[in-house]
Structure 1
Amino acid sequence: MNIYEIGQDFDNYKFFVFKENDELNKDIWDFKGQSLASEWKGISLELFRDKRKKKDKRSDDFDASCYFSGHLIVNKRTSLLLAQKLKGQIEVLPVNVDGNSSDYYFINVLNTVNALNIESKSNEEILRMMRENNGVFNQKEIGTYIIFRDSLFDDSYYCTDKFIDFIQQNTITGLKFTYVGIAK
């Protein structure tokens, strides 16, 4: 089974970034797969605008944005599809876009597993494995999850071919999947 890191399709689609100096965003880097629903106050986002370019030809008609892996933002339609497919594995939390409540949602992946096989490997070997996108993942630990976080690299979202198939079957736009290894 192939494993991919979920990211943004920067070449074809515009994307959301965290609104600078907004108090709601101060803890964004602390999301590690724990439930956030009971204390969720939201996050503030804005569409990235490249000040160096007068005209950005990338589409702003996207279903999902993932500026940093582990910070998946989706539109309402996609949030409903994911909530149904991944029931009990994710939280769908509202976000603010440009200061207003919007129809976009943060997908908090709760599946944190010891996915990466780090047994008998030095820190240097582990980092090289991830840098070179040739990770070896534990299929037994991943089980039936099609999207998950690794307990060591918990700030990224990883997925399987089945998740990519789901995205393609539902014509969800805006994401890119980078091969990072294989599960055995």
Structure 2
Amino acid sequence: MKLYKISSDSSKYGSVETFNTKELMSAFGIVKYRKIRSIQQSISDKWPKSHGGFYEMFSEEARELSKIPDVYLWMNVFLMVSKKAKDVLSPLLDIFGEFLPFECNGDEYFIFSVYSVIEPDPSKSKILLNDGIYAGISSLSFKPETIGTHILFKTSFDRFSYLYCTDKFKDIIESNELTGLHFSTDLSSRT
């Protein structure tokens, strides 16, 4: 089983921006909103009507993009999926989290909140420190037996900064030609 760190194809699709950050902060509280990436249980009862859009943020003039991907990342640890992608992924992902409604550029999308948290092999994983302050991870490894059937997961080791997946998840994305994600076998935060 191969493992991958997931990233968004931001060079092609830009950045996804939520237009209702105040409502999200109000629903979860400012402190909890900042920690929302670590949540491992349902948040659907607090989830407000949410919407956003894709913007090209690399020039001096940000512009809304009309081409949007099938699957993307929101806050690096939530999947944002189109209706098409949800139909493909739902049978596999339902046991690992929940789909929350989200409108993107006027289209029906969903935010997939991942519940699965896997801790790495401590003998093969190392945190980067800069003057004693957390600066990322230099190596990350998971034992296959701790992953089990989880095809998509996050970890507290990197302070819930990335999503990771198995080759099964990657294969499903690629075989269904779902656009928007990159997969790297380098699990460190150096890339």
Q: Same fold (TM over 0.5)?
A: yes
Aligned to 2:3: 3
Aligned to 1:127: 128
Identity of aligned residues (%): 25
Aligned to 2:121: 117
Q: 1:176 to 1:16 in 2, by over 3 A?
A: same
Q: Which structure would you say has the larger RCO, counting Cα contacts within 8 Å and 6 or more residues apart?
A: 1
Check if 1:173 corresponds to 2:179.
Answer: yes
> Once the two structures are superposed, what CA deviation does each residue of 1:36-78 show, in whole Å capped at 9, x if it has no partner?
122222444222143525889x871411221542132111111
The DSSP-based 3-state class of the residue aligned with 1:105 is: strand
Check if 1:85 corresponds to 2:125.
Answer: no
* Cα shift at 1:14: 3.6
Check if 1:151 corresponds to 2:144.
Answer: no
The DSSP-based 3-state class of the residue aligned with 1:37 is: coil
Alignment RMSD? 3.0
| Deviates further, 144-153 or 74-83 | 144-153
* Cα shift at 1:126: 2.5
Give the structure-2-normalised TM-score: 0.74
| Deviates further, 143-152 or 168-177 | 143-152
- Partners of 1:90 and 1:42 lie apart in 2 by 19
Q: 1:38 to 1:155 in 2, by over 3 A?
A: farther
* Cα shift at 1:165: 0.5
Q: How many residues align?
A: 173
* Structure 1 segments of 4+ aligned residues over 6 angstroms from their partners: none
The DSSP-based 3-state class of the residue aligned with 1:82 is: helix
Q: 1:180 to 1:106 in 2, by over 3 A?
A: same
Q: What amino acid is the match of 1:109?
A: V
Give the structure-1-normalised TM-score: 0.77
Q: Which consecutive unaligned segments of at least 5 residues does structure 1 have?
A: none
